[in-house]
Structure 1
Amino acid sequence: MSAPEPAARTAPSLLLVIDPVARRSDGESVRIAKDVLGAGASVKICLPEGPEEFARALSRRGARRPVVVGDDRSLLRAVTLLHRERELSSAVLSLVPVGGAMTLARSLGVPTDPVAAARAVLEGSWRRLDLLVDDSDGVVLGELRIPPGGPGQESSAHGHWLRACHSVVRALAARSGARLERPVRPARASRPTRPTGPGAGPARLRIEADGVTLVDLDQRVDGVQVRPCASSAAGHTPGHAHVEVRQSSPGAEIPPLHTEVTTLTVSGEDFRYRADSLVGGPVRTRTWTVRAGAWSLMLP
């Protein structure tokens, strides 16, 4: 008597949400992903033209498993929407990276080749990942950075610009024989503002890890980097975030401070922060909390 044949594997039911940037920037990769997924699954295709249609497609997915075809921002948008609808824990997301930035996709273990990524959607397994959630309901999947900043640089640049204008006006007046009745003077900034871009100086921030102060306002911070441990190197504790704080002191070299936390609060001077590919702030205080295993992603 012959052995019974194994039951046929049911084809998955997928909702392909194809980002418009991906369609415009790399239509060939989008076509390849559609062909591979269509050959192995029941596929419904959605072509949103903006954030509202993107959100509407996800909310109407029904029993279909959502597959985002796009870049890091597309994945972050999908996770944010599902988190704010309180449906993130019950959804299993997939990503086929196409289009722009793929740094986050790589760090999470998603293949960046469209064929390999599509096969992972069909043949891979879902993995629970940690998430950082802030007190304004924003999320961080891969990395949070707080850049340095210091007062006075923007006002200095403003003064240089005004002095240059003054020189141009005087030169034109001298060439035309005109006489300046009133000299143009560089304006003084009443309140210097602190830049947060590259090259800015250190900031004064209070950094608290699980209620314990790591760095206080009397110390200068050159930068803060935070990663959920589930997407960090091996050896870190799931359900925690790995924090690196870089400090500066005149005439002294301070080694970076490393720790693991479940809650991180940063306060002090107005600061901006980069959550994955999005910039937030300026804010005076912000708290991030680790949500262990808060979302699921299909991986090879």
Structure 2
Amino acid sequence: MSARDQLLVVIDPVARRTDGESVRIAKDVLGAGAAVRVCLPDGPEDFTKALARRGTRRLVVIGDDRALLRAVAALHRERDLAGCALSVVPVGAAQSLTLTRGLGVPAGAVAAARAVLEGAERRLDLLVDDSDGVVLGDLRIPPVGAGRSSSVPEDVSSSVGAGASARVIAGRAGVAAEGHAWLRSCQSFVRTLAARPARPSRPVPPARLRIEADGVTLVGLDQPVEGVRVTAGGGGLARVEVRPSPSAGADASPVRVRARTVTVSGADFRYRADAVVAGPVRTRTWTVRARAWGLTLPR
């Protein structure tokens, strides 16, 4: 049996908890077409150890975007990305599968598992930063959603605590306690707190950052920036888009270039690399590595 027909299937624990049925279907499809060894890591450390013990077997990850990122990051740290073609079966909540969909991996468990068996390796560019972090899709500054309030009401934590206390009191006092006027008042107060609307979203203030592409300054610290997006676009060059703040006036149109290296510096800033928010940092450089990793995709 060839190495292509031998698979190490690493199932992320989040996928097992989120959608066990899709995990089972993917395992059945893979097992019908190849010799499968299944690994069920309990956490990130076990996940990394499983990858290191794969031997000559092809690596298949069943999980969401974070599981794929964890696998690529681990192989990058081992300096073994060039010799390992990854396969992924996306399983998880819809909002946690944006990256895998964008890379061209089929959405359904059956279609994705068949692509593992019948697809072909495609070499893709990778963004690597100066702290050895990796970006598969895109990088955003500030992180998407930064500065916005959550949809959870402001007092929900207080209401949950009060509600829990009310249930405990009622349980101790017995069924008869439900008739007490003070308990009914307490329950009404809790419902009032839980029904309060969320605070309106706060706009993200513009950042003061210096953006350099291949050593050329695109935006200086004197020009406020509304957002930066860097994408590993293929061909060994990243697509860079800088959106100056509208307060910058007539020169506020987006700046778009292609470059091999991108450096961002300035006041402490956070950034979102695929599904992970990192920082704060004062400077960071990302470099494109052409065709640095392989992903199995439909032919």
Structure 2 residue aligned with 1:45, among 38, 50, 63?
Answer: 38
1:199 CA drift (Å): 2.1
1: CA distance, partners of 2:134 / 2:81? 12
User: Residue 245 of structure 1 aligns to a residue in which SS?
Assistant: strand
Stretches of structure 1 that go unaligned for 5 or more consecutive residues are 1-7, 154-196, 231-237
* Contact 1:21–1:70 (Cα < 8 Å) also in 2: yes
1:293 counterpart = 2:297: no
Root mean square deviation of aligned Cα: 2.0
1:147 counterpart = 2:148: no
* TM-score for the superposition, normalised by structure 2: 0.77
* Contact 2:4–2:58 (Cα < 8 Å) also in 1: no
The residue type equivalent to 1:81 in the other structure is A
The residue type equivalent to 1:119 in the other structure is R
The residue type equivalent to 1:297 in the other structure is L
Equivalent residues in 2 for 1:57-206, closer than 5 Å? 57-100=50-93, 101-147=96-142, 199-206=203-210
1: CA distance, partners of 2:213 / 2:286? 10
1:99 CA drift (Å): 1.3
Alignment correspondent of 1:261: 259
* Contact 1:228–1:241 (Cα < 8 Å) also in 2: yes
1:103 CA drift (Å): 0.2
Alignment correspondent of 2:189: none
Equivalent residues in 2 for 1:271-290, closer than 5 Å? 271-290=269-288
1:80 CA drift (Å): 0.2
Alignment correspondent of 1:56: 49
1: CA distance, partners of 2:20 / 2:242? 42
Aligned length: 241
User: Residue 203 of structure 1 aligns to a residue in which SS?
Assistant: coil
Structure 1 residue aligned with 2:238, among 223, 232, 241?
Answer: 241
1:249 CA drift (Å): 4.4
> CA 1:201 to 1:17, structure 2 compared with 1: closer, same or farther past 3 Å?
same
Deviation string for 1:98-151 (max 9, x for gaps)? 0131100011000010000000000000000000000000000001000189xx
1:50 CA drift (Å): 0.5
Deviation string for 1:33-53 (max 9, x for gaps)? 000000000100000001111
* Contact 2:223–2:248 (Cα < 8 Å) also in 1: no
The residue type equivalent to 2:242 in the other structure is V
Deviation string for 1:26-74 (max 9, x for gaps)? 0110000000000000100000001111001000000001000000000
Alignment correspondent of 2:216: 212
2: CA distance, partners of 1:61 / 1:132? 25
User: Residue 22 of structure 2 aligns to a residue in which SS?
Assistant: helix
Q: Give the structure with higher Rg (CA).
A: 1
> CA 1:76 to 1:214, structure 2 compared with 1: closer, same or farther past 3 Å?
same
Alignment correspondent of 2:187: none
Structure 2 residue aligned with 1:30, among 23, 37, 45?
Answer: 23
Alignment correspondent of 2:191: none
> CA 1:213 to 1:69, structure 2 compared with 1: closer, same or farther past 3 Å?
same
Structure 2 residue aligned with 1:15, among 8, 14, 22?
Answer: 8
2: CA distance, partners of 1:277 / 1:9? 35
2: CA distance, partners of 1:123 / 1:244? 36
> CA 1:31 to 1:286, structure 2 compared with 1: closer, same or farther past 3 Å?
same
2: CA distance, partners of 1:148 / 1:201? 12
1:12 CA drift (Å): 1.0
* Contact 1:148–1:201 (Cα < 8 Å) also in 2: no
User: Residue 252 of structure 1 aligns to a residue in which SS?
Assistant: helix
Alignment correspondent of 2:225: 221
Deviation string for 1:190-209 (max 9, x for gaps)? xxxxxxx9722101100010
> CA 1:24 to 1:210, structure 2 compared with 1: closer, same or farther past 3 Å?
same
2: CA distance, partners of 1:243 / 1:11? 37
2: CA distance, partners of 1:257 / 1:10? 47
1: CA distance, partners of 2:220 / 2:265? 9
User: Residue 43 of structure 1 aligns to a residue in which SS?
Assistant: strand
2: CA distance, partners of 1:205 / 1:262? 19
User: Residue 81 of structure 2 aligns to a residue in which SS?
Assistant: coil
* TM-score for the superposition, normalised by structure 1: 0.77
